[in-house]
Structure 1
Amino acid sequence: MTVKDVIKILDAYAPLHYTEDFDNTGLLVGNSKATVTGILVTLDTLETVVDEAIQNNCNMIVSFHPIIFSGLKKLTGATYVERTVQKAIKNDIAIFAIHTALDNSWNGVNAMICKKLGLSNRRVLLPKKELIKKLTTYVPTESLNHVRTALFEAGAGTIGNYSQCSFTSEGIGSFQGEEGSAPTIGETGELRFEAETLLSVTFPKHIETSVISALFASHPYEEVAYETITLDNTHQHIGMGMIGELAAEISEEELLTKLKDTFKTGVIKHSAKHNKKVQKIAVLGGSGSFAISAAKAAGADVFVSADFKYHDFYQAEGTILLCDVGHYESEQYTKDLLVDVLTKKITNFAVVLSQTNTNPISYF
């Protein structure tokens, strides 16, 4: 198995297509054609993590956070980033980062937080827009089932928790093959009127190439009439943060204790308590102050995230309990998730969970 093969597994789980614009995901160091001897999974890639990869005979590191956020202009070893990259290159170790692609995934970072807190009925807190496309094509009625099935197999026709969704409408299509054409039906120069079915399906933007390829491969006509448009609809399963519910209401003190135990944190910064029961919890791994208003609008009793600044806590305005559990702490279970994803697909070499604590923050 090559580095590229491993990337395909991860991209199928959390498509890099949904990486945030500010981010730097994908293969950051290494050759995609290199054969993998082992994978080390980490939250951050540091020099000590590269050392750990060497010790475990792992020539690929799958990291949540990217070690390179912006372009490197030099590699002199002057910074921890440069030294890490140098050591990886020297030892032929590839580094792949998945970061916000996994943040935006339905079964990603925030799903793990929901699982750890025992939240049910989860939904995306900030669903993404303009990620759903609609394909409309015109198919000879007798070929409808064949074409529709091919599109479904390519991944089209999924809406929320439903699959194989489509719409059809029957009509009459006309065409006339001009010089150089080779009509599947009729002859060149002949005006034809055929019973056709309008077929429309929706699909996530990142599989557009596969869907169009399936259309062309299955459609009987020499020239396929089709159109694709981007919908304004939000994607229910792609976006930042999640909101879910505890099995029963608990007190704010019980919730804070639960958070401290779950995230193994030395301290939780929080806004003023309201002396009320809580049940609906919004979560967002990593820096999440930008989603405070969304959590309030969703009716959350509590918003659990990290990196809140002083004035962010004022936004609670007596309506929500804001809890900052720490950046590393909120994302720590991401490593376990990635190991689980990879071990289910890879059996011919080791997938190792990093034991290096990369949290740059200590508590006194």
Structure 2
Amino acid sequence: MIVQEVITCLEALAPLDYAEDFDNVGLLVGNRKNEVSGILVSLDTLEEVIDEAISKNCNLIVSFHPIIFKGLKSLTGKTYVERTVLKAIKHDIAIYAIHTALDNALKGVNNIICDQLGLVNRRILIPQQGTIKKLTTYVPNDHAEQLRASLFKAGAGNIGNYDHCSFNSQGWGTFKGNEGSNPKIGKKGELHQEAETQISVTFNKHLESTVLKTLFEHHPYEEVAFEIITLNNLDQHIGIGMLGELKEAEDVHTFLKDLKIKMKVPAIRHSQILNPKVKKIAVLGGSGSFAIDAAKRLGADMLITADLKYHDFFSADGDLILVDIGHYESEQYTKNFLVDHLSKKITNFAPAFPLGQVILSTTNTNPVKYL
């Protein structure tokens, strides 16, 4: 098992293409070709986490938050970020951060919160835009079925809960190859007319290189005519936040007390209680004030998030209850989820490291303390 194999496993779960533009995700420190002795999973990467990795013979840290967020102009150890990175490099420990790629994944951070709260009928709160692309190509009729099947196998043609989706129309294609051509159909220097099928399929943008590779490998022409455009359609399986429902409406005070227990929250801040019962709950792990309007539009009784400022609570404006459970608290179960995911997917550690395993970090990285 090398670092790149772990990365491939993580990016199948949460492709980096869907991370927010402001974020810094992926392999931040280390060589992706190094063999893995063990994987330590943490919410943050701090010096204490590096020490834990050393003590547990882990040379790869999978961290939710990126330790390098802004550009580093020097590595002198003057900040906690520089000291952490220096220690990781000194001990040949790789650091991978998944952050908003997992925030925007269907089975990611917010789905984990919904699991903790037992919410049903879940949907993405804010679907991400620009995630769907459309390929259109032209192929001889006799090759259309085989090319479609290959594109479907590569992941194209999936729309929501449907797969093998395409649009096909038939017509005539014309071409004439010059002296430098080597046509597989028709003859060089002669105008050729071919009965063709126009095939259009949609695909998620992280699959573009795979879809194009498949197109070129299975298309019979020397020169493949195609076009790719980005659609404005929203993918209901990619985006941040989640909206779900309790199986039965609950007394709001009882729900908030249970919330403290289920999310291990020492203190809750919330806006004015509007109604005695709640059922439709919106969640967004981490800083989520930007989701208030979306939660209102979808008719949520409550939005559970973190890092709300004083004036954010006014934004509830009698439409819903805003609940701040703390940044760390809202994301803490993410590392448990990643340990479970990696443990199921990865078993072939390098022979040189027979004790290699996926380990849940026991270091509490929460910078906020409570009395």
Do the structures match in fold with TM over 0.5?
A: yes
SS of match in other structure, 1:70: coil
Residue type matched to 2:8 in 1? K
Q: CA deviation at 1:255?
A: 1.6
Question: Residue 275 of structure 1: CA displacement?
Answer: 3.0
- State the 1:129 CA deviation: 0.9
Secondary structure of residue in 2 paired with 1:177: coil
SS in structure 2 at match of 1:237:
coil
* 2:79 alignment partner AA: T
Q: Separation in 1 of the partners of 2:219 and 2:333? A: 45
Greater mean alpha carbon deviation, residues 158-167 or residues 319-328:
158-167
In the aligned structure 1, how far is the partner of 2:170 from the partner of 2:215? 18
Q: Which amino acid aligns with 2:314?
A: Y
The aligned residue for residue 79 of structure 1 is 79
Partner of 1:27: 27
Q: What is the match of residue 252 of structure 1?
A: 252
Corresponding position of 1:211: 211
Opposite residue 206 of structure 2, the aligned amino acid is H
- Matched residue of 1:50: which SS? helix
1:253 aligns to what SS in structure 2? helix
What residue number does 1:183 align with?
183
Matched, 1:130 2:130: yes
Matched, 1:355 2:353: no
1:358 aligned partner, one-letter code = T
Paired residue for 1:167? 167
Q: Which whole-Å CA distance do the structure 2 matches of 1:29 and 1:112 have between them?
A: 27
Query: What are the Cα deviations for residues 219-278 of structure 1, in whole angstroms up to 9, with x where unaligned?
Result: 111111111111111121111101011111111112201211111111110000013321
Q: Per-residue deviation at 1:75?
A: 2.1
Amino acid at match of 1:149: A
Per the TM alignment, residue 47 of structure 1 is displaced from its structure 2 partner at its CA by: 1.1
In 2: Cα distance, 1:171 partner to 1:120 partner: 48
SS in 1 for 2:237: strand
DSSP-derived class of the 1:33 partner: coil
- Tell me by how many angstroms 1:335 deviates: 0.2
Q: For 1:154-174, what per-residue CA distance to the aligned partner results, in whole angstroms no more than 9, with x for missing partners?
A: 111111121111111122222
Q: For 1:262-297, what per-residue CA distance to the aligned partner results, in whole angstroms no more than 9, with x for missing partners? A: 111111100000133211110000000011111111
3-state SS of 1:335 partner: helix
2:294 is paired with a residue whose SS is: helix
Look up the SS of the partner of 1:312 in the other structure: helix
Shift of 1:69: 0.9
AA paired with 2:174?
A: S
- SS of equivalent to 2:235: strand
Aligned to 1:309: 309
- Which amino acid letter does the alignment assign opposite residue 105 of structure 1? A
Q: Which runs of 5+ in 1 are unaligned?
A: none
Map 1:216-235 to 2 at 5 A: 216-235=216-235
In the alignment, what sits opposite 2:40? 40
Name whichever of 235-244 and 71-80 sits farther off: 71-80
**In structure 1, distance between residues paired with 2:265 and 2:338:** 22
Q: What is the correspondence of 1:217-296 to structure 2 with a 5 Å cutoff?
A: 217-296=217-296
Alpha-carbon separation, structure 2, partners of 1:32 and 1:193: 49
| 2:351 alignment partner in structure 1 | none
In 2, Cα distance between equivalents of 1:231 and 1:203: 10
How many residues align structurally? Answer: 364
Q: How many Å separate the matches in 2 of 1:31 and 1:184?
A: 43
Compute the displacement of 1:178 (Å). Answer: 2.4
**Range 166-175 or range 108-117, more displaced:** 166-175
SS of the aligned residue for 2:128 comes to strand
How far the C-alpha of 1:191 sits from its partner, in A, is 2.2
C-alpha distance in structure 2 between counterparts of 1:12 and 1:24, whole Å: 18
Tell me, in whole angstroms, the C-alpha distance in 1 between the residues paired with 2:27 and 2:12. 15
Question: Aligned partners of 1:152, 1:275: CA distance in 2, in Å?
Answer: 48
Q: TM-score, normalised by structure 1?
A: 0.98
Matches of 1:315 and 1:284, distance apart in 2 = 16
Instruction: Output the CA distance in 2 between the equivalents of 1:67 and 1:223.
Output: 45
Cα deviation digits, residues 54-75 of structure 1 (max 9, x gap): 1110001000001111112222
Distance 1:301 1:225 in 2: 51
The residue aligned with 2:353 is none
Report the 3-state secondary structure (helix = DSSP H, G, I; strand = E; otherwise coil) of the residue aligned with 2:200: strand
CA root-mean-square deviation = 1.1
Partners of 1:33 and 1:213 in 2: CA distance: 24
The share of aligned pairs that are identical, in percent, is 63
Match of 2:334 in 1: 334
Counterparts of 1:274 and 1:290, CA distance in 2: 21
Higher alpha-carbon deviation: 351-360 or 272-281: 272-281
* Aligned AA (2:99): H
What's 2:345 paired with? 345
Give distance in 1, aligned partners of 2:220 and 2:74.
Answer: 55
TM-score by length of 2: 0.96
Deviation at 1:81, TM superposition (A): 1.4
- Return the offset for 1:189: 2.5
Decide which moves more: 188-197 or 60-69: 188-197
SS in 2 for 1:330: helix
